[in-house]
Amino acid sequence: MTESVSLISPRGYCAGVDRAIETVERLLRERGAPVYVRGEIVHNQYVVKTLAGKGAVFVETPEEAPEGSVIVLSAHGSAPDIYERCAARDLEVIDATCPLVSKVHAEVRRYAGKGATVLLVGHAEHDEVIGTRGEAPERVIVVEDVAQAEAVQVPDPDNVALTTQTTLSLDDTAEIIAVLKRRFPALQSPASSDICYATQNRQDAVKAAVEATAAELFLVVGSQNSSNSQRLVEVARAGGAESHLIDGVGDLDPSWLDHHPRVALTAGASAPEVLVREVLDYLETRGYSRTGNEVPTDEGVVFALPPQVR
């Protein structure tokens, strides 16, 4: 059988990631180094190392940035106390929070303002969930799985609301949400899903590729702490394919290719296309011919940069 690698699209950068990275790069060009960034601007090791090489300084807390300096807040969103701590140090805040994450923050504020208990479906230790929960910590309960959905208790079952982490799998959240709706018939929820367009589009593309390409091996380029990349691996495995998450070609175990003449290749929403191309080049040296979509993404979504860098 002829060996082939199918490029899946859409893959790679979403509009929110593109906006966050461009924000830091533009600040470095226009104001010069150093530019301080709280947390990883996006969850990708290559991106973080590349920006650090250009003069970005990544810090965990606002207190690590010199008073009066510029600080960029990451795409994952930050809790209100972070803004307060930045103000206390007279830091100029450039907010690179993804607008879709900002939407979830606004939902939490609105529901909590009405006295509701907010059930936030997501991974408790993920940066996005930590920031979202920080909008109303006394009113937000994180629900990570079906078991927790079955067990969670709220003060007033008639005043309870739902939000979700943006980078989850729609299939996984559907089961959790179904339990919550059964247990809390009065559950309020936003008019549209909190799961972002890019997360959903990439998962749908993997599902379709599992069926259409008959690929036995799915390689997902992305870092281990990238939630949306992890979900792509899970979607491929759920479809019956072997799948691995790799930061780049250096993580590719050649033994994975044994007895797998059909490979599919994609990337999480925070992974640059250059890493995909390196994996593709390696596969070609192993005799794999390339098929699929050369264009990473054509989703037609663009988010305006923060006003300070437009």
What does the pLDDT look like over 179-205, one tens digit per residue?
A: 999 999 999 999 888 889 999 999 999
Each residue's pLDDT tens digit, 43-89 = 999 999 999 999 999 999 999 999 999 999 999 999 999 999 999 99
Per-residue pLDDT at 292 exceeds 70: yes
Is 172's pLDDT higher than 90? no
Fold of 15-98: Rossmann fold (3.40.50)
Express each pLDDT in 105-124 by its tens digit.
999 999 999 999 999 999 99
**Which DSSP category does 266 fall into?**
E
CA dist., res. 86 & res. 37, Å (int)? 12
The pLDDT value recorded for residue 211 is: 87
pLDDT beyond 70 at 1: no
Catalytic residue among 40, 107, 128, 135: 128
pLDDT at 212: 87
Give the model's confidence band at 133: pLDDT under 50 very low, under 70 low, under 90 confident, else very high.
very high
Q: Give the global pTM.
A: 0.94
Helix, strand, coil share of the chain (percent; to 5): 45, 20, 40
Which CATH number, 2.60.120.620, 3.30.390.30, 3.40.1010.20, 3.30.230.70, labels domain 100-194?
Answer: 3.40.1010.20
Read off the amino acid at residue 11.
R
Closest CA to 47 of 79, 83, 21: 21
pLDDT grade, residue 310 (50/70/90)?
Answer: confident
- Protein fold of 4-13+196-292: Cobalt-precorrin-4 Transmethylase; domain 1 (3.40.1010)
Chain centroid to Cα 37, Å, comes to 17
State yes or no: is 273 an active-site residue: no
What average pLDDT score do residues 251-277 get?
96
- Whole-number pLDDT of residue 193: 85
